[in-house]
Amino acid sequence: MLNLNETHEPNLQSWVRSANDGVSDFPIQNLPFASFRSKDTDTFRGGVAIGDQIVDLLLLSEADVLPGDARQALLAAAKPELNDFMAMGPAAWSTLRLALSRALREGSALESSVRPCLVSQANVEYQLPCRITDYTDFYTSVHHATAVGSLFRPDNPLLPNYKWVPIGYHGRASSIGVSGQSFPRPLGQLKGPDEDVPTLAPSKRVDYELEMGVFIGPGNDPGSPIPMLEAENHVFGMCLFNDWSARDIQAWEYQPLGPFLAKSFASTISPWIVTLEALAPYRLAFSRPGGDPQPLPYLSSEQNEKAGAMDIQLEVLLQTADMKAKGDAPESLSRSNFKYSYWTVAQMVSHHSVNGCNLQPGDLLGTGTQSGPAETECGSILELSHGGKQPVQLANGETRIFLEDGDTVILRGFCEKPGAVRLGFGEVAGTVLPARNII
């Protein structure tokens, strides 16, 4: 479990003034990583966000001004993909983060050397921050699982295993894109309850899922499970994640093996990975409701109970094609919080590897839809519309049961509490396009 250190000091200010305004997602206490390039260059490279700027780590490595103990980590983080840096582990991550923090602080002697390495975020484009070697999606929100289960099994919404095992499935890494991703409405087999045979057609029930993404750092050898006490040493950081779903395709195909084409057409992540170290001030105690079974011993630890949960506030916004045409801002649909997760990040990692599965640097774990207990905390439109039975009313007069062509969904996330500096994840946006011609 990461402890607070000088990089978390609330009074730290940066010579990059935009990082000090109290509303930026990227104060000096954050320093998340991404892969970017300036619009006038051809090469992607690693970068660190500070206010409305990015520290170009390739330029910084060429300037050769950071202390020697951070040099190897900086060279790895400057590459177009962060996998090599992720594989180096917590000591290297922390060393580079500390060196960057000191270089960017108000009064730093390195200001004149680092300032030429800054690039405006307004003038860049992003790619996936790393090569995503594999992808697994979990189902960690008991509120989402209950709400969805109630649509199909009103008398027994949660299956018997839910409170005992972190449920997940192996997804498709090739269709994961970075914020700004757009995709055609997926085709698949559809079969209504009153229809005799299925048909191939565009999905009529495209949905978003408000999730967090967890990026793995160092992996484990095949056959060597990761114990709870070591689990977070294998986690590089977290991002926002929208795991788009085609609910009608899913309803027909998911039995007996689970999600397939309903999930593999697109998933979208935010470009910035916030490190676990940056999130240290926002850790919370983890506990189960009274009467629920306690996790099995391999999913339990004192440190997980003390600070396994995370206070990350989440929001879903929708901007329809009509809103865009009229210049209207996106409308907020719901807010939730990752603290409601029924399983922690450490439990996901430990369970994933307990059978001997070998994780790798750059693996992505989705947390599953993060819904809260209140009606206003739904993490999908499936829940907001009660399975498509109650249209969601928008302020401009439009309604939605599920997503329509031209809809852009935006997810945002941030951490905020008294005594700590607000930090955020940026945002992840994606757009549904019209379906392509049927085969």
Q: Is 234 a catalytic residue?
A: no
User: What torsion do the CA atoms of 24, 26, 29, 33 make, to the nearest 10 degrees?
Assistant: 170
C-alpha–C-alpha distance, residues 304 and 287, integer Å = 9
C-alpha–C-alpha distance, residues 354 and 398, integer Å = 48
Question: Of 8, 144, 234, 352, which is the active-site residue?
Answer: 144
User: Most distant CA pair in the chain: distance in Å?
Assistant: 74
CB-side neighbour CA atoms (13 Å) of 221? 2
C-alpha–C-alpha distance, residues 259 and 148, integer Å = 14
Task: Tell me if 381 sits within 8 A of 402, measured CB to CB.
Answer: yes
C-alpha–C-alpha distance, residues 76 and 358, integer Å = 23
C-alpha–C-alpha distance, residues 12 and 98, integer Å = 13
Task: Tell me if 191 sits within 8 A of 320, measured CB to CB.
Answer: no
**Residue 382 falls in which region: left (phi positive, over 0), alpha (psi -120 to 50) or beta:** alpha
How long a stretch of residues is the chain? 439
Residue 390 neighbours by CB under 8 Å, 6+ apart: none
C-alpha–C-alpha distance, residues 20 and 51, integer Å = 7
C-alpha–C-alpha distance, residues 161 and 163, integer Å = 6
**φ, ψ of residue 69 in degrees (nearest 5):** -70, -15
Residue 9 neighbours by CB under 8 Å, 6+ apart: 29
Task: Tell me if 85 sits within 8 A of 71, measured CB to CB.
Answer: no
Residues with catalytic function: 144
